[in-house]
Amino acid sequence: MTVAEAADEEWVFTTILIKINHSTRILVQDQQTSCSSLALGAAKKIQVQVDQQLKDLKDKSKIEEFDKMHAEWKNKLESFPLDLQKQKLKKFACDEEDYRFVCLSLTQALFILGIFVSYDPVVGSNGDITPITCCTRGIDLNKEVIDILCPADCTVEQFSIFGNLVYATLSSICGAAVHSGVITTLGGAITMKRLPGQESYPSVYANGVLSQKFAKWGSSFSVSKIKTRALAASGKPKATVLPPTGKRQKKTPEKKMGNKDCKADIAFLIDGSYNIGQRRFNLQKNFVGKVALMLGIGTDGPHVGLVQASEQPKTEFHLRNFSSAKDVLFAIKEIGFRGGNSNFGKALKQTVQTFFTALNGVRKGIPKVIVIVVDGWPSDDIEEAGNLAREFGINVFMVSVAKPTPEELGMVQDIGFIDKVVCRNNGFFSHYIPNWFGTTKYVKPLIQKLCSHEHLLCSKTCYNSVSIVFLIDGSSSIGDTNFRMMLDFTANVAKAFEISEIGTKIGAVQFTYDQRTEFSLNDYNTKEDILVALRGIRYMSGGTATGEAISYTVNNLFKTMKDGHKNFLVIITDGQSYDDVRGPATSAQNAGITVFSVGVAWAPPEDLKTMASDPKDSHTFFSQEFTGLEQIAQDLVKGVCQDFLSSQAA
């Protein structure tokens, strides 16, 4: 949570003490050696100033709770000798996890109370530059003007910044320098100048960093590029103390294009119900904003939109509205809390049916993703909407925060709602966060999943979104042994596809003068059942009427074709038909069915090409021997995929 948001809430003081208590407990339990320097009197300073703040609080009930928790914290710390207290307090920056925890949690809590834990300035080797950490604030340094060296490993998540160009002194100095464009995250040397306090520090997005709004603070600072001439005149070597100052870099086309390795059309479906409330709703927006910022939004990268779920769903913005992280962050910030029931089933169904359209900015051939963020549980049934999302080829992720307690389980309509709504119940699409504090560490794992296209199993592909019917010649010229090879060929083709209730469908018809449906497109929903069914087909024997068989298949099997699936007819024959094939094949193609013809032995090439779709050469296969069918199987699968991709790009 941000300082500004916390300051507006009644419960802030209890939250602060929970953070302080948790932080110091970590320090007390950790016996490791110091690796950063806090002032020797930090503990006493905290105690004195907390006591002073208590005098200013008007809510007596909060004071009692505050006092109790603070006493517990103080007693734990004072149970150690003074030198060990010092060692514990010096541990704050020993590793990335502790460092970020202190920067983003404990120190922000102390800021709200006006409690200042000062860092000892570390003098540089030349006596002029003071190296600092990524989280060092303006208030931590006492000089009116000071030259500072920012490290090269700072990340945006470590910066707490309030204002624009003129920053409240509780802001990160290095963060302010990056925000103002004086340096980049590669670090560099800067000059910080102390300024008077002011009112209304604005929130501005600049240079990849979003500063935060703050109402009023007693002191400010500005940052600028260091004056290298003065350093040279003093006789101090510049090269050894001054890395590149990191001038504001020009925006390159690469950045505008976005993260090309993470192409996806993503809809965030966030919780706007009374379950989450106004306070946690703002924290939720912060989390979604962090995800959007790190995704790499751009014209050739991810595109995002957002829908708020409440009593009635509301689309806040579409995929086509914004093509930069900056604009998306501003749009998220402006979203208002709606309230009402958490009708995620209704919201998901509407998002699936209306959000991913060309008019709204969806791109062909790009994975479609919905990220549901729910605080608690849905108020309505969500299973039907989850099934609909899978049918539409949309990958649904669920980010659940604060699972229902045992006492609350009776209020949950379906305790298994997560497994029923996500793309696959395999753990990959479910993302659990215990609470709304410290959500930054959950951002990167979620983004890695969203950008792992090979794991987005619900995306429509040539392997999971086609319907294929094998039209198998059962005439007497083939013989039982060769007929078995034809069945093996169909099985080898079917193996390549993802067959399921919402995936690829397979059917089979055998023909001579007569036709026999071996199984329809909806008879089997697993690959195992399809393979057994194909290999179990009994040889008919008889004449060859291919044209009539094509008409039969179109009228009896493709009438049940699945919406959204591309339809393929694979004709396998060894001889010339006794009837006309041109008319039935043309009718099939006019009905949207792509025809592949596979000929063996005496099958006339002219008939094969007449039946095949255009271009004829890529839809016609021939082998002089039945044993050659094995080599054709993979080429046929590739042909199906090429046609599917062409249809998606059209």
pLDDT of residue 534: 97
| AA identity, residue 120 | D
pLDDT of residue 338: 92
Q: Is the pLDDT of residue 95 over 60?
A: no
**What tens digit of pLDDT does each residue of 399-456 get?**
999 877 776 666 777 788 899 999 988 899 999 999 888 888 999 999 999 998 778 8
Maximum alpha-carbon separation in the chain: 104
pLDDT of residue 370: 97
pLDDT of residue 10: 31
pLDDT of residue 25: 39
Q: Is the pLDDT of residue 34 over 60?
A: no
pLDDT of residue 515: 97
| AA identity, residue 197 | G
Residue 454 class from Cβ within 10 Å (0-12 exposed, 13-18 middle, 19+ buried)? exposed
pLDDT of residue 238: 36
Q: What angle do CA 20, 26, 29 make, to 5 degrees?
A: 135
User: In the CATH hierarchy, which top-level class contains the domain 265-455?
Assistant: alpha beta
**What tens digit of pLDDT does each residue of 493-540 get?**
999 998 888 789 999 999 999 999 999 999 999 999 999 999 999 999
**What tens digit of pLDDT does each residue of 573-604 get?**
999 999 999 999 999 999 999 999 999 999 99
User: What does DSSP assign to residue 563?
Assistant: T
Contact 489, 630 (CB under 8 A): yes
> Which ranges of 234-377 would DSSP assign to H, the alpha helix?
253-257, 277-295, 325-333, 344-354
Q: What are phi and psi of 516, to 5 degrees?
A: -140, 120
If you average pLDDT over each of 108-112, 122-126, 128-132, 243-247, which comes out highest?
128-132
| AA identity, residue 393 | G
Contact 455, 461 (CB under 8 A): no
Q: Which long-range contacts (CB under 8 A, 24 or more apart) does 9-16 make?
A: 9/279, 10/59, 10/62, 11/279, 12/112, 13/57, 13/59, 13/62, 13/65, 13/66, 13/113, 14/62, 14/65, 14/66, 14/69, 15/109, 16/109, 16/110, 16/112, 16/113
Residue 609 class from Cβ within 10 Å (0-12 exposed, 13-18 middle, 19+ buried)? middle
Which is higher by pLDDT, 30 or 64? Answer: 64
**What tens digit of pLDDT does each residue of 257-269 get?**
888 888 899 999 9
Cα 429 from Cα 109, distance rounded (Å): 33
CATH architecture of 466-639: 3-Layer(aba) Sandwich (3.40)
If you average pLDDT over each of 48-57, 191-200, 608-617, which comes out highest?
608-617
Q: Which two tokens stand for residue 459?
A: 């995306």
Cα 273 from Cα 565, distance rounded (Å): 36
Closest to 133 in 3D by CA, of 158, 110, 151: 151
User: If you average pLDDT over every residue of the chain, what do you get?
Assistant: 78
pLDDT of residue 64: 55
Q: Which fold would CATH assign to domain 130-225?
A: Ferric Hydroxamate Uptake Protein; Chain A, domain 1 (2.170.130)
Note the pTM of the prediction, 2 decimals.
0.46
Cβ-based neighbours of 195, under 8 Å, separated by 6 or more: 166, 219, 220, 221, 222
**What tens digit of pLDDT does each residue of 154-168 get?**
777 667 899 999 999
Stretch 374-382: mean pLDDT? 88
User: What does DSSP assign to residue 102?
Assistant: I
Q: Please indicate whether the domains covering 265-455 and 466-639 agree at the CATH topology level.
A: yes
Closest to 479 in 3D by CA, of 575, 550, 547, 548: 575
Stretch 85-93: mean pLDDT? 39
Q: Residue 405, Cβ neighbours under 10 Å: how many?
A: 7
Percentage of the residues of the chain whose pLDDT score is greater than 90: 46
Q: How many Cα neighbours within 13 Å face the side chain of 460?
A: 24
pLDDT of residue 350: 95
Domain map of the chain by residue range? Answer: 130-225, 265-455, 466-639
- Bridge partners (DSSP) listed for residue 400: 374, 432
Residue 214 class from Cβ within 10 Å (0-12 exposed, 13-18 middle, 19+ buried)? buried
Q: Which two tokens stand for residue 257?
A: 């294009």
Write down how long the chain is.
650
pLDDT of residue 594: 97
Cα 44 from Cα 556, distance rounded (Å): 86
- Bridge partners (DSSP) listed for residue 394: 368
Contact 501, 539 (CB under 8 A): no
pLDDT classification of 562: cutoffs 50, 70, 90? low
Q: Is the pLDDT of residue 56 over 70?
A: no
pLDDT classification of 72: cutoffs 50, 70, 90? low
Q: How far is CA 454 from CA 371, 451, 457, 527, 531, in A?
A: 17, 9, 7, 20, 25
Q: What are phi and psi of 571, to 5 degrees?
A: -95, 125
Q: Which two tokens stand for residue 50?
A: 């907390």
Contact 20, 106 (CB under 8 A): yes
